[in-house]
Amino acid sequence: MTHDTKTPFFWKGKVFDFRSEEAPLPNGRRATIEVVRHPGSSAIVPVQGDQSVILLKQYRPAIRRFIWEIPAGTMHEGEDPLDCAKRELQEETGFVARCFEKVGELLTAPGYSDERIHLFLATDLIPSEQKLDEDECLEIHSFSFEEVMGMINRGEIQDAMSMVALQMAHSRLRENSFMQRGERKTTPLSVKRLNRILSMLLSDWKDLSDEGRDFPIRWNIMHMYSSSQLAKVLALSRGLNPELAGMAAALHDIGVVATGRDEGHAQVAEKYVDDFIEAYHAKAGIKLTPITGQERDQIVKAVAQHSQKEIDSGDPFVELLKDADSLDRYLHGIKMEAAHLERFDKVIRELGIGIK
């Protein structure tokens, strides 16, 4: 695009120019406009191997405070947008990336500026050397995409460029994941351990009496089965281990069954989970893979915290169990508190399901 360079500068800066120009209009007339001419920028959404996103908490002197942003910077004269993205990623985060994928472009303020931001998704990150400018004050943090979307919805991320880029990158990653799944032959899930656990729980619980219990045993059995299936679906969607998610969901109300009480059941569940895992190992023998210590810790943590629906633990596995429990309760027609409903709404949107 060519611009009228004969018109006077109001101001010429290091990064952009502010000038008055004569601009032709589609109706044949001409107008005098005041416009910011900008060389363009590149912005990057860096995604690590565990699918966490790198965000910057950067101080912006113009508004006198820190804000959450993705790495970004202005293109040098004649610089290619991709080269700018590679340079800015290393300078601001100390990472280089083996893979860059352009996800879109953004016009920041076309009413008075021609700045165009090129948006990139960067993956396969390698630690390198950070090279901050003297006037850059920032911190580097990592969040899951689920946490990032929550930050956008709560207004904690207010930078428009970052909001658009994060949502476009998230969408592109999901598209890539679905395409990769479509290119390979679908194989059955390996859930033999989960199936044995469900069988054992049914055998242990089916003859228990309802007397003195907050919930009838049949409800606990239904909830155990259906929530374990929903947890597997969410795990597949979020790139987590579906069998382990199903195992945690199957055991998440074991405290209710053991004590007969709903109140405080999550806090006392660890002992009952450990007793059950011990029984599982005794019955499984060498026929089934044991539950490892690390898997046991993940299950116990998720079970112990699953009732805290109003709290974001920051642990994707714990949050998955909370979401699966909320979704299952809704589908069973159980009266739900606000925190359950908020999680249900979030999961429905995540899965792309519209309720009429």
Q: Catalytic residue numbers?
A: 134
Length of the chain equals 356
What's the CA gap between 48 and 56, in Å, rounded? 14
DSSP state of 334: -
Q: Work out the burial of residue 46: count CB atoms within 10 Å of its CB; fewer than 13 is exposed, 13-18 middle, 19 or more buried.
A: buried
Query: Phi/psi at 19 (nearest 5 deg)?
Result: -145, 165
What would the DSSP string read from start to end of 144-168?
-HHHHHHHHHTTS---HHHHHHHHH
Greatest Cα pair distance, the chain, in angstroms, is 90
As given in the structure block, the two tokens for residue 9 are: 């500068």
Which residues are CB-contacts of 272 (< 8 A; sequence separation ≥ 6)? 254, 255, 258
The Cα–Cα gap between 227 and 324 comes to 6
72-74 β-sheet, strand order: 72-74, 41-46, 116-127, 95-107
Instruction: List b or e across 180-213, with b for residues whose CB sees 16 or more CB atoms inside 10 angstroms.
Output: eeeeeeeeeeebebbebbbebbeeeeeeeeeeeb
Residues 6+ apart with CB under 8 A from 74: 15, 38, 39, 40, 41, 84
Residue 244's nearest CA partner among 183, 301, 287 is 301
Q: Which helix (H) or strand (E) holds 91?
A: helix 81-93
CA dihedral (125, 129, 134, 138) in degrees, to 10, reads: 40
Q: What is the DSSP letter of 215?
A: S
Helix (H, G, I), strand (E, B) or coil at 216: coil
